[in-house]
Structures are given as structure tokens and as C-alpha cells.
Structure 1
């Protein structure tokens, strides 16, 4: 069924596309009228900064158009005997949403993906890093022992950076047993929250390297070289990708990658993960397929370089000693 659907949407299958067009006559007429109305706007589209919808149409009209096309297809499929489940229907809406957005905004796939990220909660029910929308009445975000998610994240950052958790508890003014409960309940909520709001917001706070007044005087030790390297991975994406590749290679050779980064570059786990979240958030907000591919390939190349280095230090790969 979906091969037929995708063929109809993309025009890859001419015969099936013709069949599809015959069942969508009224939709096409509506589309033609809409395209006439907005023909000029397609040349230079302006986007709403929050929703990334084109400003030349109403969101309600967009949603109605998607629903009209999707429901027509669903009705046709059911009439032909197809048994559609909820996942099938979601996929149909997903693909028509992509089609309508691309048509109405005359945009490329990168802009379409940025739009999907910005509206992921509305259309898919899950949050995307960089586009988190917070409902103040969300029960998963209720403070635990008076500690909200932002404060919990700040505590995690200090502890991950090497500050003793007892010192963190002392600064916060509560016993260690409270921390143990916090560190049980918040992760539990992350697992229970199907919208991923808690997890994504935690990651966003982590990327921001948040702190609270009670913890500002607690500083993890960092060398001058470590501080310089930390600043560099925050501003130099290639250097970050190099160290990410090196860390992964270290793990593959039985080396604690986080400890290796700390010993060789002076960057602790908390700071490294914070920067990782920073780059992921920026990538989601400014999605560019060419850049993503370039950074991925660069990290893979660096991972191979460091893998060769670790292999040499360990006397070579086992396979190197095997003659075939």
C-alpha cells in the first residue's frame, strides 16, 4: 500500500500516479485555486519564526488541506478493502503534510525538516531538541522535593564535572537521601513521558550548562589547557567532531573514552556532553543536509585515525596477526 502511496506522492510510478489523480479531482481543483492565489508569494517565502509556516497562508488552511487529501486517500483505500491501522493513518498524514508544505512554500527538503522539528509536538506528539514547548501544567515537570528539572540538571552537571555529590547536596541544603530520590524520580519520569518533554528539556538545559545560585561557587577543577580546549570545541565544530570520533574509537578499544578525553584534553564528561547537546540543538534548528553529511564523514574519518592509533598502542588488531 505505501509503495503505491509514495509513488503517487512523488510521481515515481506514472500509472499509479494517474490512478491517484483520478480519485483526487476535487483536491486538484482546490490546489490549483490555492496556487493561483499564492503564486507570487512562492517566489520569496517568509516564515513564521516559531512555527516555520509560510506567512502567506493560515495554519488552519494548511491543516485542513492536509486532512482533506489524507482523508480522501484513506477513504479510497478502505473502499478498496485495505485495513488501515492507526500507524498507517499517521504515516498517510505525515506524507501529505510533507507534500503540502513543500508545495505551498516551494521549499527544499532541509526547510521541510526544520518545519517538522518546529512542529514535532503538535503533529507527532514528541519534542525535538531546540524546539521544546513547555506546558506549565505538565505533571511530569512538577518539582520533586521542591527541586525542578532545571535545578536537577544543574546538580547533574556539577556531579558529572567531578564535584562530589555530597558537596552538591550540602550547597543545596538537603541530605544525600534527597539526592538519591531526585536521581530516581526524574529519570523515571523521563522513561514514562511519551512526549519526551522531560528528556529533551533536560538535554536543552544540559546544553545551556545551566546553574542555580546555590551551586555557583562549586567549581570543578580544570586546567588552563582544558579550558582552552573546552572553548575550542564550543566554537569549532570540526574539533568537536574529532574528539567525538576519538572518544568512540577509544571505547571500541576497551578504553574509557570520557576518561581519555579528560586526561588528554582536560575536558570533563559534563562539559563534553553539554557541548554535544549544544551542537545537536543547533543542528536541529538550522538543519542543513550537506553540513550534516560533511561533519558525519569527518567524524568517521577521525574515528578511523584514532582507532589506528589505539590499535598500534595495543600491538595491532588481532586480525593483523591472522594470515588468510
Structure 2
């Protein structure tokens, strides 16, 4: 018998858990007829009698936030299944745990690994569900889920084979349309038992999308941190090497901000006044900074120059006052609404194909060219670092390209 620890106060105790432990997205899918206050053996009996020979989703809670583990298992009646030919059944029969655990589920993973899901039959405050697999030994049953069978859950569906190994985002969209239609013949033709089965598949696809985005975002964030660290080193090296030293008293920040101020419509005379210089000196300084930037293999100068388009009031312009236009209230509205940003982008693109000036499109939204430049500077880095925006972008572009193609880009738009 395995060494055990006292579980009276362990969070796995069924007395401290309930259906509320699961996320709202799965609660409507769970078979709530399975007892949560019966003895463990009785719960096993209920599950086996109801689902023997059927594949189901088996859920166990992973953390206090309602996240959970899920596995597709075949529910088995051990009295009938123990003589099956699979190796895992033979191994468990020869193990020292047959009096302590009762197999109720079988799982074969995509990579060919076999597992038996075990309900603990010992009389403990919280008998744990275990999985017996190739890494189990005569002294260790296998991985435990930190939960009694009474705290786990059964979803009586699995995903039809034709939807496996497909893009989850595409599957979710396809099944949402099927659910919206809600036609029994179409549902059964697609391989589902009922609308509830379709809703289960939608939830699973959406979860796959969320998990996939989170994993990819984590990798992207890690890469971004490395790139930021490398850029910081580049900037430090450029500074120590004199590459970022001011030219005739005008720093890189001054020069970058001045260029943005000019491009945003501020008169050159005002810019030169802030810099306390004259045009011949400015021309010489600007040419020298451009030359340095073209020869800068560290891209430190380009980084500071690009940052100025997000914050044009840097360097001496931070205290100068009366700086470059900060954008209208409509610009702020677009900065806070990604869908509106994509909508305007599509509107301009469609307009350009018809020879309509993009500036006239912007006027329909109360925006100037300067406003749009600042909005773009706001969203561009976010789109490059936030994968959820990338996932939203394609369907939004499809939606608004179709809308403007059919409605005509020159018409007035309200929002």
C-alpha cells in the first residue's frame, strides 16, 4: 500500500468542493445527475451503469480559479474489462493496488500511451482519483488529480472524429452556424447526437483557441522581452560609443520629436525656436542624424525615432507647450475601439480602389490625417504583440470589406 498523508483538511476533500468549482462555460454540459454526496463506490457504480462502453469527457479541477483538466476516456466495468487484451489491464492486475483502487476509465492517447483511471476504495476523508500508466510502479500508483471522484465531472459527449486535428477557430465558427440553424437533420448529419452535443463541441473549440492563444502569446512575450533586452544593450553600446551624442546641441530626442512636430503641421519657425537654433544649423544637424541612422546597425537611433511618433512631446518639446496636435476626441475614440480602427482601415482601402481620397473618408469619422497617424502609432505595436488582436483582425476585415464593397465607400457612415 502506498504511503498516505492526512487529507482531512486537504482542499481535495469533497466537503469543500461542489459544482461551482467548474468554469461557467462547462457547467451546462456536465451531467449533474451523478451524486456528489454518495460514497465513492456508489459514484463509480452510477458512472459505470450510465456510460459503460461509451466515450465521455472526464473533468478534474486544476486550480481555484475554475480551470480544469479534461481527458477523453472510455468508461469501463472492471468486472467485465479486466480480461481485456490491452497491456495496461494485465499490468494493473499484477500490481499491488487491486484492493485499493477500482478502474473505471480507459484512455489511449494520440501518441499510443495507455492509462487506467482509478477510483480509490480506501476509507479516507478524500479518496483521490489516480491514473495508472506506463510510469506507474509497484510503489507508486500514478499521477493523482487532487480530487475525489465526487468532485470530478462527466460530460457525456466527445468530439466527432472529423473535427479532430482541425483549426479550432475554424471549427468554432462552423459549429456556431450549425447551432444557430438548430436543425436536427443537419446536426445528426454532422455527426452529433443533439444540440447539446454541438454546444459541447463549440465550448471545446473555443477553449482550444483560448489555450492556443495563451501559449503562443507566452512565447511571443518571452521573445519580446529578449528583443527589448537586446535593444537596451544596443542603446547602451551606442551611447557609450558616442553614436547618440548631441549634434550641435541638438539631442536625438530633440531631432526625432522636431520631425514629428513638423510632419504634424507645426511651423518650422516654432520648432526652431524651441530648439534655439536656426534653419542652416537645423539642416546640417538633420542631415547628420539621418546619416547616423542609415549607418546604425544596432537600430538604436531608429528605435528612438519611432518612439517619437507615439510621443511627439519628448526632449525639449516636453516642456515647450503648444506642441504638436494631440489628436481629437474622435481619435481617442478609435484608440479605445479596435473594431472601429479596422472598420476605418477597410473603408479607406475600399475607397482607394475606387479612386476616392483617403482623407475624405477620414472626415466622415471626424478624423484628420494627423489623427489617423497617431491612431496608427497606437495600434501598430499592439497588433504586433497581442495575438488576440491578430485573431480578431481577419474576421473583422472580412466583415467590413464586404460591407463597404456592397454599400459603396463614399456613403456617410455613423458610429
> TM-score when scaled to structure 1?
0.49
Greater relative contact order, per chain length (Cα 8 Å cut-off, separation 6+): 1
* Greater helix share, structure number: 1
* Greater strand share, structure number: 2
**Larger Rg belongs to:** 2
